[in-house]
Amino acid sequence: MDGAAMLAALRARFGSGVIETHDFRGDHTAVVTREALPRVLVHCRDEPALAFEMLTDLTAVDYSKYPGREDGPRFEVVYHLYSIAHNHRLRVKVRVDEDDAVVPTAVDLWPVADWFEREVWDMFGVRFAGHPDPRRLLMYEEFVGHPLRKDYPIDRRQPLIGPTN
């Protein structure tokens, strides 16, 4: 299935669950609502015509300083999917507000999401509901704040504390 057909099928199947789609520079992208996200991801993995066996990447972007999007939802959680069987890719995005930065977890679909989601929590402070082990991944537990947020200054220093165990 080519990218445009993939996006059309997702729009047809999930209706208002898919907010918008685009294919800038050939990267087919679907922005979905948080409510539809678990169903979309399950569909992407299990539908034979899509068969996205791999969650190649999961990350987030803080849009609070992006021109024209300062007032919109602050975070975008980005899923990059790849299918070995069909050799195609898809990007799924979900937008969340800062005061309600929670996204359902994908650990039960792809176990690699465990570490990816821990990293997103660590770097952006987006929580993943249902994550079995929501610790920080790269920073230490005593670290205050989330360094990849746009309002975290790059030169802020914090005391270095070793892990407590």
Partner 1 sequence: MAEMTRREFMLGEGSGTGSGSQRLHVGVGPAHPAMHGIIRIVTELDGEVIVRADVEIGYLHRAFEKDCEQGGYNNAIPYTDRLNYVSPLINNFGYCAAVEKLLGIDVSERCKYIRVIMAEISRVCDHLTCIGASAMELGAFTVFLYMIKAREYLWELVEDVTGARLTISYGRVGGVKADLPDGFAERAAKAFKETREVLDEVHRLLTGNRIFMDRMIGVGALSREETIAYAITGPLLRAVGVPYDVRRAQPYDVYDRLAFEIPTQKAGDNYARYLVRMAEMEQSMRIVEQALAMIPGGPINVDFAGRPIDPAAYVDRGKQGKTEGLLLVPITLSPNLQGSERPAHDRVNAADKRVVLPPKETTYGSIEGLMNHFMLIMEGFGIRPPQGEAYVAVEGANGELGFYVVSDGSDRPYRVRCRPPCLPPMAALHRMIEGGMVADLIPTFGSVNMIGGELDR
Are the beta carbons of 138 and 122 closer than 8 angstroms? yes
Comparing CB distances to partner 1, the nearer of 34 and 89 is 89
Q: Is 42 in the site for partner 1 (CB under 8 A)?
A: no
Q: Is 59 in the site for partner 1 (CB under 8 A)?
A: yes
Comparing CB distances to partner 1, the nearer of 87 and 159 is 87
Cα separations in angstroms, 134 against 12, 113, 131: 35, 11, 6
Q: Is 24 in the site for partner 1 (CB under 8 A)?
A: yes
Distance CA 15, CA 43 (A): 14
State residue 10 phi and psi, 5-degree precision: -65, -40
Distance CA 134, CA 126 (A): 11
Distance CA 124, CA 55 (A): 19
Q: Is 56 in the site for partner 1 (CB under 8 A)?
A: yes
Q: Is 33 in the site for partner 1 (CB under 8 A)?
A: no
Residues within the interface to partner 1 (CB under 8 A): 24-25, 27, 29, 53-57, 59, 61-62, 65-67, 78, 80, 82, 84, 87, 89, 91, 110-112, 114-116, 123, 136-140, 147-148, 152, 154, 163, 165
